[in-house]
Chains A and B, each alone.
Chain A
Amino acid sequence: MTATGSDGREQGRRWSTGDGVHIDVRGLEPPGPLVAILDLVESLTDATPVIVHHDRDPQLLYPELAERGWTAEYLPAAPGEVRLRLKRG
């Protein structure tokens, strides 16, 4: 189930572990995943990495991340999932 913010935007499912803040945007209709990920990225004030769980390579996300000074790298994932680690700087 995905959460919805007070502004009505779908936020995806979020949780925190030792390696960063996770966000699962699988099943969201585009551009929902893009918006949910950027919403989370912009809410972080420290260097906490973001782990994205996606059902496709979010190609339209990368220019937006670059604009914000963030980078991305692929992580190993199960078939059918694209997992990314996003880092500031």
Chain B
Amino acid sequence: MSLGGGTFLAGAPSRLLPASIPFRYFGAAVVFHIAAWLALAAGAADAPRFVGGLGWPLAALHLVTLGVLAMTAIGASLQLLPVASRQPVRVVRAAAAIWWLYTPGVAAVAAGMGAAMPRFIGVGAVAVFIALAIYAALLASNLAGARGMPVVIAHGWASLASLVATLATALALAGTYLGVVVIDRGAALALHVAFAAYGFMGLLALGLSYILVPMFALSSAPGTRAGLASLALAVLALLLAGAAAFGLAPVALRVAAVAAGAAAAALHLRLMAVALATGMRRALGLSFVLVRVGWVLLAASLAAALAVALDAPFDGTATLFGVLLVPGWLLTFLLGILQRIVPFLGSLHAGAAGAAVGRKRPPTPSALTAGRPLAIHFGCHVVALALLATAVVADNRWLALAAGTAGAAGAVAFGVFFAVAVRRMGGGARAA
């Protein structure tokens, strides 16, 4: 039975979901990515001093976090965690159905935030909450039967626990817009930022890195003990930040949280640096330049978090922290990884679909990669980040508008890359 000529993947038990499932999440993330930068441009007047409250900057933030980061995380984790856990996704229909609930929910939340319509936020938040709760159940069932890759699995559990905290605090915050106060808004906001960004999305990004970075660099798996130590420090940082949010020695605990987080990040980045340095593949292109920029901004976000904890005498500190953390570390890292994952999974699925239609060879990952749109995206994204950070420092709305415009142009270019990859995969793979 040939795998390369006619039956590329046929005949063996598969842990892969149909291509249509991960790619629908990636496609929605691509669209929300464009919308996020446009929302930033729409809210440019308020963006440089944004620290919360309804408006387009809040919509832009959630279009990135829910629309791009969590959307991609769902698609990527449903596809890749089974590889680490050696467990298939048990309810494939649920994996597909989540998208239909989550995508309009995110759109409603963002529209409600941008247009200051709390009812939209409420309806959207319920849909997002239910979708993420189903995702959490799928994730838990997959992790529960996991065999092997303990570092990835442990990060998955910590990310899942953070997702529960994120959902609880999101509901509390959404309730305040509807006049229902469960816990103090400041405490809920501090918990939400820490557990959503560094917890749910951050730990998932760090955990999946233990599969993806060695896989793309073609190096051995990083050391288990060091990976678990990094995770333990990250969890300690989250717990300290959580205690600080409830008013327990907030300055001391926040400083301690930043210190633990910095130690966790340093250990993780050391492992990633070794993986890249010892890998068979050294030329990783612009994608890993973005990944490296993301790592630098992870460290920068922790420095900014320290400045926030110490109440630095600068009006834009909290906003700058958010810029470094969300579009800086998380979005930049994710876009770097996504431009590797899309053609890789595309080739994999096209191989399986090609078998069904008798095609001789599947397209290779490089054949699915459109280089020019990615180069345009790279330039626009880096410029947009620099403009946005400068806009915050200088408190300048026009720089924020320029950042939104450059970011949107880059996001459109990324969308072209995605569309080209999907088109080159072929109809059989898309429908699979």
Residues of A that sit less than 8 Å from B by CB: 7-10, 29-32, 34-35, 38-39, 42, 56-57, 59-60, 62-67, 70-74, 82, 84, 87
CA distance A39 to B280 in the complex (A): 8
CA distance A31 to B13 in the complex (A): 19
Given contacts A39-B280, A71-B2, A74-B11, A63 and B218 within 8 Å (CB-CB): no
Contact A73 B2, beta carbon cutoff 8 Å = yes
CA distance A85 to B366 in the complex (A): 24
In this complex, what residue of B is CB-closest to A35? B218
Residues of B339-358 whose CB lies within 8 A of A = 344, 347-348, 351
B370 to chain A, nearest CB (A): 16
CA distance A84 to B220 in the complex (A): 22
Contact A30 B1, beta carbon cutoff 8 Å = no
Contact A31 B211, beta carbon cutoff 8 Å = yes
Contact A60 B348, beta carbon cutoff 8 Å = yes
**Chain B interface mostly:** loop
B92 to chain A, nearest CB (A): 16
Residues of B that sit less than 8 Å from A by CB: 1-5, 8-9, 11-16, 83-84, 86, 148-149, 211, 214-215, 218-221, 278, 280, 344, 347-348, 351, 361-366
Residues of B within 8 A of A7 (CB): 278
CA distance A73 to B148 in the complex (A): 26
Partner of B351, one of A8, A42, A62, A84: A62
Residues of B within 8 A of A72 (CB): 2-4
Residues of B within 8 A of A59 (CB): 9, 14-16, 83, 348
Residues of B within 8 A of A8 (CB): 220, 278
Given contacts A8-B278, A42-B280, A66-B351, A73 and B149 within 8 Å (CB-CB): no
Residues of B within 8 A of A66 (CB): 4, 347, 351, 361-365
